[in-house]
Amino acid sequence: MKKELPACPVEATLQLIGDKWKVLILRDLMDGTKRFGELKKGINGVSQKVLTSNLRTMETNGLVARKVYAEVPPKVEYTLTETGYSLKPVLDVMTVWGEEYKERTK
């Protein structure tokens, strides 16, 4: 069940993607569909439990789609939804800002 979003649009956005793990998941999925292990490997320092929890929350919020294949061992893939992909401009701006900040603080 989705939580009610705050009236402030900035606060609503932060509620959906406001922790570093969710932003890094979005970053990695911008390139396309990934399996759980690929995501875990690409996101330095995230535990399996935290990654699972964040993916479930993002799925509930309509940012990520999860596809389970009926095979052994189980195969699960994650893909951004259209709503998830709509965050690309936000991530692009964060990338530019981060590069500029790193350059200024050398």
Q: What is the DSSP string of 13-26?
A: HHHHH-SHHHHHHH
Buried b / exposed e along 20-51 (16+ C-beta atoms within 10 A): ebbebbbbbbeeeebebeebbeebeebeeeeb
Q: What is the DSSP letter of 61?
A: T
Q: What is the DSSP letter of 90?
A: H
- pTM of this structure: 0.90
pLDDT at 45: 95
Measured on CA atoms in the order 14, 78, 65, 75, is the torsion positive or negative?
negative
Question: Mind listing the pLDDT tens digit of every residue in the chain (106 residues)?
Answer: 566 888 999 999 999 999 999 999 999 999 999 999 999 999 999 999 999 999 999 999 999 999 999 998 889 999 999 999 999 999 999 999 999 999 999 8
pLDDT at 2: 60
pLDDT at 1: 52
pLDDT at 5: 81
> Exposed, middle or buried: residue 4 (CB in 10 Å: 0-12, 13-18, 19+)?
exposed
